[in-house]
Amino acid sequence: MTGVVIDGKAVAARVREEVKADCISFQEQYGFAPKLIVIQVGDFGPSTIYVRNKKKACENVGIESEIWHLPDTITQEMLLEKIDQCNTDDQISGVLVQLPLPDHLDAVACRNAIDPKKDVDGFHPINTGKMIAGEESLLPCTPAGIIRLLDEYNIQTDGAHCVVVGRSHIVGKPMAALMLERNATVTVCHSHTKDLAQYTKQADILISAVGQANMITAEYVKPGAVVIDVAMNRDEQGKLCGDIKYDEVSQIASAITPVPGGVGPMTVAMLMYNCLLAARRNR
At 158-182, the pLDDT tens digits run 999 999 999 999 999 999 999 999 9
Q: Is 58 helix (H, G, I), strand (E, B) or coil?
A: helix
Contacts of 195 (CB under 8 A, 6+ apart): none
State the first-to-last Cα distance of the chain, in angstroms, to the nearest integer: 50
Q: Is-catalytic flag, 40?
A: no
Peptide bond into 174 cis (omega under 30): no
Nearest to 248 by CA among 217, 209, 212: 217
Q: Give me the catalytic one of 121, 204, 229, 243.
A: 121
Predicted confidence at residue 267, as pLDDT, reads 96
Q: Give me the catalytic one of 35, 82, 98, 245.
A: 98
Strands (DSSP E) found in 19-136: 35-41, 64-70, 94-97
Q: Which residues of the chain have pLDDT under 50?
A: none
DSSP assignment of 13-39 equals HHHHHHHHHHHHHHHHHHSS--EEEEE
What is the 3-state secondary structure of 238-264? CCEECCECHHHHCCCCCEECCCCCCCH
Q: Is 191 exposed, middle or buried (0-12, 13-18, 19+ CB in 10 A)?
A: exposed
Domains by residue range for the chain, with CATH? 31-115 (3.40.50.10860), 140-264 (3.40.50.720)
pTM across the whole model: 0.95
* 215 contacts 197 by C-beta, under 8 angstroms: no
Phi, psi of 188 (to 5 degrees): -110, 125
Q: Is-catalytic flag, 121?
A: yes
Predicted confidence at residue 1, as pLDDT, reads 58
How do 185-189 and 233-234 pair as beta strands? unpaired
How do 255-256 and 233-234 pair as beta strands? unpaired
Predicted confidence at residue 283, as pLDDT, reads 84
Nearest to 11 by CA among 149, 159, 131, 130: 149
Q: Is-catalytic flag, 243?
A: no
Predicted confidence at residue 2, as pLDDT, reads 78
